[in-house]
Structure 1
Amino acid sequence: MFALLSRIYHISNPPKVKKNDVDEKGKPLNFGCLGAAKITPGALIKPSYSHAEVNLYAVAARDAKRAEAFAKEHGFQKSYGGSNGYQDLIDDPEVDVIYNPLPNGLHFEWTMKALKGGKHVLLEKPATNTAAEATAIYELAARKNLVVLEAFHYRFHPAIQRVKAILDSNELGTIKNISASLTAPSGTAPEGDIRWSYELGGVPLWTRDVGYTVNVLRYLASSNPTAVLTAKAVPYSSRPEHKQVDKMFWATLSLEKEIIGELHSNLDEAKLFGIIPRIPKLSATVKCERGSVEIFNFLIPHFYHSITVSPTGKPRRIEKAYSFKDINLEAFVDKVKGRTPQTWVDSEDTVANMKWVEEIYAKDGFGSRPASKYVYHEDAT
């Protein structure tokens, strides 16, 4: 408990470094943030405090007063607001990087506009609504020699990397089965939350759960699926507007190397006795020919996690691997600065994840999320 409280304190109060000193690493990157999303403080603002090369330069929001208040609260130097606020931020010549945590349905349009404006992009997951859109983003980034990273933060944490190292060491032998679950108690996403908006590319299977579960499945297996064997989703409600909006799902996939993958997600898990929220299931279990390994809380391992290794015929052991640095942000800065990051989520990885999320939807008949209506033209906004 003391260790948990200590981690929460350090995560909430990261050490601050001086931003004004130009050291051997060079000038800090000016970050511009699109929107005032709830994820931004944890994903960018607080981690930036301990990064000398990250400067919170500007934020934009549709509401000018909200943008100004957000900038003042979190230490951004400038704010942009109004109907043209996002584009004004992109057009600011002092901005080096755009952080895009907008609703999923807006990711493609504003990432393409940011790249067109010559900005690197740190893009919240899922990158886009379709694999085709993700492909277009990375093709434009390559043409303009710019960096785009889909911010699957957990991939940069030593906990999941330790699990993969155990599997890669062959201690447990060949992988046979991988199961991944991600659930949250009822009320986590209340009525009106963008997760329930089909038009904004929402729904749990897309926004969070299947994106993460497919990703961890592929990462630990070191391979891609070959087919979706089964898929079942439960609609959020019986209303017509929710016919393509799921609140829970199950899927079974076959992967290369004869691995079977099982996924489960539920963003509306019923409370015990109708009043007690259930503990979220945020786990992945890998069964191998000579034992198994399970990670609890692969999603946000910096708060708490456990890695349980159970070799056949040997004592079970529990490992942990913590780090208070936001390695996701550090890797992104390294890439922009021309250095080799500790690990990376490349374009092929992002596109493959989107492809198999779409395949799961197709199997169940839900269909892909709506493609963006934005059409990129080099000579137009």
Structure 2
Amino acid sequence: MSILLRAWTIFHPPTPGKTPISPEPGSKTGPVRIGLLGAANIAPIALLLSARSCPDAEVTVVGARSLQKAQAFAKRHGVGRAVQGYEAVLSDPEVDAVYNPLPNGLHYEWTMKALQAGKHVLLEKPATNTPGEAERIFAFAKEKGLVVLEAFHYQFHPAAQRLHAIVSSGELGRVQKITAHLTAPSGFIKPDDIRFQYALGGGAAMDMGCYVTSISRYLAGREPVEVIKAEPVLQDPGREPLVDRRMEFTYLFPALEGEERGPTAECVCDLSLPGWGPGGLLPRWPEMSVRVLCEAGEAGLNNFVMPVFFHSISVRSAKGRRTERAFTFGKGEGEQWWTTYRYQLQAFVDKVKGREPQHWITGEDTVGNMRAVQMVYEKSGLGARPESDFEL
């Protein structure tokens, strides 16, 4: 399938017939009925488009602080109902699960409220502002018998899993160094964006940095023991002296048996990469790559965040060089046009329905990622993001 055909199908997906919705919330016979907390810009690509082609998912309602905003969003994106306020979504008996794409600083409060209301939660990354908040979320979810999934969508795609399989197979020997970059050109994210507000858990290492942290941990197969360096570039020192626009940081992972030294991961994240040329007028191209240097070769994946549009997995060893691409798992698992979000949604509804998902991100993994991100902030001198004062 060509890139143009894939792109067309992503935005015009087939809509298979839905099983009639069961009147019982949480029923395993009908689609999982999902409510949106907020009319977030990420929701259409992260959930709504995927739900159109997923017979196991139905987005039934959107709630926003403004009813008018919720109604406009529902009309634009074909959501059946709009309500005012997030509480209205949580109290809706026709909602089995919620998608929480609210600002980072609100993730903890509204995820805990959703669990208290008996709803499963698909939770945007980073899950929380601190590892302690993440621990409490998953402890409460276990107590309530509910599903919470942090939305590191890239891990559900065959491309990332293929790179992981190559690295973990031993084909290239032990991992020595991982390099992960995720940057956006200047102007893509506006200066007043919530990502630059400390009170809402803002900062590059929280936003794009949680991705490069996640993929580094995923490929290293262990938790970092130290942040060797963390060098921030501040967004607006006058107004937000603790918010990084850019962060360069290096993790050290522990040595396993037979290793003299554990691998490192050199990470770069930037929410507003300055342009180049005269006056910096020419925009930079986004960076979305990861490379793994091993004892006997190296492997890399470009565009690990949106591989459905284009990507390549490059492998170099003493045997030569090769390039691979992976859009499906074969055996009827997935389609070439499935986005990372579509694979993720399938895993989420499988878990909610009691089926074994193809891949999963555990609560322990989420807590580990938040610990690693917090280590970066402590090393940088900016300190951890503020904990929520919400209590059940």
TM-score by length of 2: 0.92
The match for 1:282 among 271, 283, 288 is 288
Letter aligned with residue 367 of structure 2: V
Structure 2: distance between partners of 1:49 and 1:97: 16
C-alpha RMSD over aligned residues: 1.5
Matched, 1:308 2:349: no
Q: Does 1:194 align with 2:194?
A: yes
Is the 8 Å Cα contact of residues 33 and 60 (structure 1) preserved in structure 2? yes
After TM superposition, the structure 1 = structure 2 runs for residues 232-381 of structure 1, keeping only pairs within 5 Å, are 232-239=231-238, 241-257=239-255, 258-273=262-277, 274-311=280-317, 313-322=318-327, 323-325=336-338, 326-376=342-392
Q: Distance in 2 between matches of 1:29 and 1:266?
A: 36
Q: Which moved more, 1:164-173 or 1:145-154?
A: 164-173
Match of 1:167 in 2: 167
Report if the CA contact (8 A) 1:31-1:99 is conserved: yes
**How far, CA to CA, are the matches of 2:114 and 2:81 in structure 1?**
18
**Cα deviations across residues 8-55 of structure 1 (Å, max 9, x unaligned)?**
111111111122447997211111000000110011100001111111
State the alpha-carbon separation in 2 of the partners of residues 168 and 216 from structure 1. 13
Between 198-207 and 31-40, the greater mean CA deviation after superposition: 198-207
Q: CA contact under 8 A between 1:56 and 1:75: conserved in structure 2?
A: no
Q: Write the distance in 1 (CA, Å) between the matches of 2:285 and 2:377.
A: 27
Instruction: Write the deviation string for residues 163-193 of structure 1: whole angstroms up to 9, x where unpaired.
Output: 0110121110111111111111111111211
Identity across matched positions, percent = 46
User: 1:58 deviation in Å?
Assistant: 0.5
Give the unaligned 5+ runs of structure 1: 377-381
Alpha-carbon distance, 1:230 to partner: 1.0
2:332 paired residue number: none
2:251 is paired with a residue whose SS is strand
Is the 2:151–2:344 contact (alpha carbons within 8 Å) kept by the matching residues of 1?
yes
The amino acid that maps onto 2:105 is G
Q: Unaligned regions of 5+ residues in structure 2, if any?
A: 256-261, 328-335
2 CA distance for matches of 1:8 and 1:185? 22
Taking the aligned partners of 1:203 and 1:216, their CA distance within structure 2 comes to 18
Secondary structure, counterpart of 1:98 in structure 2: strand
Q: Which of structure 1's runs of 4+ aligned residues deviate more than 4 A?
A: 20-25
**Do 1:104 and 1:126's aligned partners in 2 also have CA atoms closer than 8 Å?**
yes
Residues 7 and 337 in structure 2, CA contact (< 8 A), matched pair in contact too = no
> Which deviations, in whole Å up to 9, do the C-alpha atoms of 1:329-364 show, x marking residues without a partner?
000000000000001000000000000100110011
Question: What letter corresponds to residue 138 of structure 1 in structure 2?
Answer: F
- CA distance in structure 1 between the aligned counterparts of 2:35 and 2:21, rounded to whole angstroms: 20
Cα shift at 1:315: 2.1
Letter paired with 2:167: L
Q: What is the CA–CA distance in structure 2 between the aligned matches of 1:128 and 1:364, rounded to whole Å? A: 19
**TM-score of the two chains, using structure 1 as the length reference:** 0.94
Secondary structure at the aligned position of 1:129 is classed as coil
Query: d(CA) in 1 for partners of 2:272 and 2:48?
Result: 29
> What aligned pairs does 1:81-96 form with structure 2 within 5 A after superposition?
81=84, 85-96=85-96
State the alpha-carbon separation in 2 of the partners of residues 324 and 8 from structure 1: 7
Report the AA paired with residue 91 of structure 1. Answer: S
Q: Displacement of 1:237 after TM fit?
A: 2.2
Q: 1:93 to 1:25 in 2, by over 3 A?
A: closer
CA distance in 2, matches of 1:236, 1:127: 22
Distance in structure 2 (CA, Å) of the matches to 1:150 and 1:369? 18
What SS class does the counterpart of residue 73 from structure 2 fall into? helix
